[in-house]
Amino acid sequence: MMKNKKRLLCAVLMLLMVSSVWGIAVQISWYGRVSAGHRTEFTCSSSCFPNCVYSWTFKGRSVNGSTLTWTPDGQDDTVELQCIVHNPETGISSSTTTILEINNQMSVRVSPSNTAPILNQSLSLVCLNAGSGDPKGPSDLIWFKDGKKVTQDENTKFLQNNKTLHFDSVLPSDAGFYQCQTYLPSLQTRVISLGFLLSFDQWNVSISGPDSVFPGRLSEFTCLTSCTQNIECTVRWQFRGGFPIGTFFSANGNRIRWTPSIPGTFQNFNCVAENKAAGRSAEATKLVEVKGAPVSGSEAAKLHRLLLLMSFMGFKSLI
């Protein structure tokens, strides 16, 4: 028993020794967040006697030395960074890889913010946080649309040292993906911003739910929009031609729940998606038929009262 334990301990110790001989621990470290247009120093560390030889690879480039100084240019949002350690004494190499998440604070926004582009009206795009990482400030700020350099014309102007791209009257042909790029003189790097998609696409609005409903039976309708509700647009319901008659009705956000009561009638639902500040809206209409034989006015009122009473008494499932 004792002998077996000793043998096991011996085997474990040997394994530990082997791993410390064959595998050199390699570590990549840096301080803070890695950001486009900001310089970051990466350090690779390991232990070799008398010393290690370090090299780096990233984005198809190779650099020698235990430290690497790099300013991301905004093209990538993640980059694979590898450090290779070579021990000249033993001839053994080892490496480690880290995925860098690159933060880009440089971006393009509409000014004033929250305005949606409207055809034939003026529009400004601004380049935000250009050159914040360079003490000398940015220079050579240029704009790209769909990857091509933007030039000034009678409708398109660069203002405020090119930080603003202004359209006197924005046209369908101006739709596209906009980016700004700057040069950082002290870091000797170009940095490109995150992009902004300028689009005039109409919002799509539709109402889901049945085309025909039955008296006494609960039905549901939902207003579906291509704009993000409560962020890009808000949704409201309209009842042109009359408020829905029934034993139950609720309109909560983009959802309507309705238990109609009068057969043979029609109900119009109208859903409006809008952004008042941006002057944008779109709507959808749905005509719903309440099935069943039509009844006369006084009978309808009686039936309505009866259904109301029954629903109060919990007879919903019987109707």
Ligand X SMILES: *[C@@H]1O[C@H](CO)[C@@H](O)[C@H](O)[C@H]1NC(C)=O
Q: How far apart are CA 190 and CA 210, in angstroms?
A: 56
Shorter beta-carbon distance to ligand X: residue 139 or 222: 139
Q: Should residue 256 be labelled a site residue for ligand X when binding is judged by CB under 6 A?
A: no
Q: Should residue 67 be labelled a site residue for ligand X when binding is judged by CB under 6 A?
A: no
Q: Give least dist CB 190 to ligand X, A.
A: 12
Residues 194-233 as b or e (16 or more Cβ within 10 Å = b): bbbebeeeebebebebeeebebbbebebebebebeeeebb
Out of 29, 97, 161, 230, the residue judged to bind ligand X by CB under 6 A: 161
Shorter beta-carbon distance to ligand X: residue 41 or 101: 41
Q: Should residue 64 be labelled a site residue for ligand X when binding is judged by CB under 6 A?
A: yes
Shorter beta-carbon distance to ligand X: residue 52 or 141: 141
Most distant CA atoms of the chain, gap in Å: 104
Residues 274-287 as b or e (16 or more Cβ within 10 Å = b): bbeeeebbbbbebe
Q: How far apart are CA 170 and CA 188, in angstroms?
A: 35
Q: Should residue 158 be labelled a site residue for ligand X when binding is judged by CB under 6 A?
A: yes
Q: Should residue 162 be labelled a site residue for ligand X when binding is judged by CB under 6 A?
A: yes
Phi, psi of 274 (to 5 degrees): -145, 160
User: Pattern of binders to ligand X over 187-206, x per CB under 6 A?
Assistant: --------------x--x--
Q: Should residue 173 be labelled a site residue for ligand X when binding is judged by CB under 6 A?
A: no
**Binding to ligand X in span 90-149, by CB under 6 A:** 119-120, 139-142
Q: How far apart are CA 260 and CA 266, in angstroms?
A: 10
DSSP H/E element including 126: strand 123-128
Q: Should residue 168 be labelled a site residue for ligand X when binding is judged by CB under 6 A?
A: no
Task: Point out which residues bind ligand X (CB under 6 A).
Answer: 55, 62, 64, 119-120, 139-142, 158, 161-162, 201, 204, 226
